[in-house]
Structure 1
Amino acid sequence: MKFISWNVNGLRAAVKHDFAETFKKLDADFFCIQETKMQEGQLELDLPGYQQYFNYAERKGYSGTAIFTKHAPLDVTYGINSDEFNHEGRAITLEYPDFYLVTSYVPNSGAGLKRLDFRMGWNKAFYQYLTELDAKKPVILCGDLNVAHKEIDLKNPQSNHHNAGFTDEERQDFTNLLKAGFMDTFRHFYPDQTDIYSWWSYRFHSRDRNAGWRIDYFVASNRLADEIEDSKILTDVFGSDHCPVELDTKLPRPMI
């Protein structure tokens, strides 16, 4: 099965451009979206063959996630079982017989790290949620996780040290998640690949110069390693300041 994850930086804006064409071309079993920036009723999507699930932020035009899937889930969970962090539409979980699929738009620590404490609280609650799921069945996590884990994962690590997404605290938390039984699937296949990113600032022609960050991930339970065929970053897809990321697996299509 094919999984796609994409921070579209506003789904209504993306639909006005090439979203429909990209969606059809990628033909994924699961298409996960972050930063929808919309409320219920603001957009009708015609996606034949797909079930649609949205988690909206209470604040208008902010955050938000969605999953479009060809496969009906056993159950759907919105949020991460923590009321403090469930007001911004940042996570959706679909349960299947053999795995959980979680998509998330992880909070950004913000300019001057003004939301770093909130982000660290989110990390603690979110990682507990993921490990509790993993104790039941394997997990596939995807989304904009808002952290470049290693220096290899951004163009200018020295000048960005201590900036949002590349603080020691955020990076250590991600390390701790991996140590708890998860893998960064892209680095599983391409441990030393440089100069490949998933987000570029709209400023300073960053994408033209490939001055980017790898902050969009597929993370999976270690015991799924034999089921994963490839993990890709689709840098040739435009329409957002992020590009999609892809996970190709040998997992059987759910029979529900």
Structure 2
Amino acid sequence: MLSVLRDASVTLCLPPMQLISYNINGIRAALRNGLSDWLAQHQFDILCFQEVKATADVVDLAVFEQLGYQYHWHAAEKKGYSGVATFSKIAPTNVVLGCGLPVYDCEGRILRTDFDDLTLLNCYFPSGTSGEIRQGVKMEFLRDFYDYVVELRKTRPKLIVVGDYNIAHNAIDIHDPIRNKNSTGFLPEERAWMDQWFGNNMIDTFRYKHPQDVAYSWWSYRAGARSNNKGWRIDYASVTDNLRDQIVDCQMLSDAVHADHCPVWLSMSERANE
């Protein structure tokens, strides 16, 4: 069910801002691996976590409060599975849990926070690695999510869409495109969806700033993939074209090793592009 929270008392104009999107593969595990110490060394305004694998009531969130963050959480109904959470240092003006489609909302896949006229979507796209049934769910999600964003943009034209998309877009985004040409996450139909996504006035901020750079956001735990940098770039920070002039930089923060993913860092300026 679509859940909406409102706080009309807060006035905020973002950007400028520093944001990270991070699939932490379990927030409790990431905290045990030093996530809080790492966050304390930085000045991020917004944290978008995917695959938190917990409800907020079972996590010690005092460290985030000490760092000045408040949070909004969209957990999966299934315990220890999926879920997204957004932490910010200033209250959003509107919060929506889910996209209104129960088949996805029960898995905690989309969390929307508005900051005045800017809308941030924190997303965890399904993976198809467990077999044909889930691959089918993934393809249905891609179609439904695309339509959802097209409709949302009619009333909320300034969007930032971050998260684990579970797709490597092009050959430059995966360490072995030949061997993985038939692997979920790099299938032709998934890559075609990414073509459509970025062809509809959405910008891949990392590729926009670094058109030729090789950088990954996920590495398998097997066969020393991370130490050998055999990774995939499957985590993205997309923005609508009307925010193009406000993109300062986007980077994969591969030195952060709290999970099998690394954070995607996005910096936006306050220049307007009307």
The 3-state SS of whatever aligns with 1:26 is: coil
Gaps of 5+ in 1: none
2:171 matched to which residue of 1?
151
CA distance in 2, matches of 1:34, 1:106: 9
5 Å-filtered alignment, 1:167-178, equals 167-178=187-198
Counterpart AA for 1:182 = M
Q: Does 1:29 align with 2:45?
A: yes
2:99 matched to which residue of 1?
80
2:27 matched to which residue of 1?
11
Deviation per CA, 1:61-93: give whole Å up to 9, x if none: 111100000121111111112122211011100
Deviation per CA, 1:183-228: give whole Å up to 9, x if none: 111010111112x101000000000110000001100001101011
The 3-state SS of whatever aligns with 1:204 is: coil
Counterpart AA for 2:30 = A
CA-CA distance at 1:250 after TM superposition = 0.7
Q: Does 1:236 align with 2:252?
A: no
1:216 matched to which residue of 2?
235
Deviation per CA, 1:141-165: give whole Å up to 9, x if none: 1111100000110001111112111
CA-CA distance at 1:133 after TM superposition = 2.3
Indicate the larger mover: 131-140 or 4-13.
131-140
CA distance in 1, matches of 2:248, 2:134: 37
1:200 matched to which residue of 2?
219
Say if 1:140 and 1:219, in contact at 8 Å, map to a contact too.
yes
1:182 matched to which residue of 2?
202
CA-CA distance at 1:44 after TM superposition = 2.3
CA-CA distance at 1:98 after TM superposition = 2.4
CA-atom RMSD, angstroms?
1.3
Indicate the larger mover: 106-115 or 48-57.
106-115
CA-CA distance at 1:17 after TM superposition = 2.0
CA-CA distance at 1:128 after TM superposition = 1.5
Say if 1:76 and 1:95, in contact at 8 Å, map to a contact too.
yes
Alignment match of 1:160 (pick from 170, 180, 190)? 180
Counterpart AA for 1:126 = F
CA distance in 1, matches of 2:182, 2:104: 24
Indicate the larger mover: 231-240 or 122-131.
122-131
2:270 matched to which residue of 1?
251
The 3-state SS of whatever aligns with 1:126 is: helix
CA-CA distance at 1:97 after TM superposition = 1.4
CA-CA distance at 1:113 after TM superposition = 3.7
TM-score by length of 2: 0.88
Say if 1:80 and 1:91, in contact at 8 Å, map to a contact too.
yes
Alignment match of 1:99 (pick from 111, 118, 121)? 118
The 3-state SS of whatever aligns with 1:95 is: strand
Gaps of 5+ in 2: 1-16
2:12 matched to which residue of 1?
none
The 3-state SS of whatever aligns with 1:232 is: strand
Counterpart AA for 2:110 = A
Q: Does 1:119 align with 2:142?
A: no
Q: Identity percentage over the alignment?
A: 37
Q: Does 1:141 align with 2:161?
A: yes
CA distance in 2, matches of 1:169, 1:146: 13
TM-score by length of 1: 0.95
CA distance in 2, matches of 1:113, 1:127: 21
CA distance in 2, matches of 1:189, 1:110: 30
Say if 1:5 and 1:31, in contact at 8 Å, map to a contact too.
yes
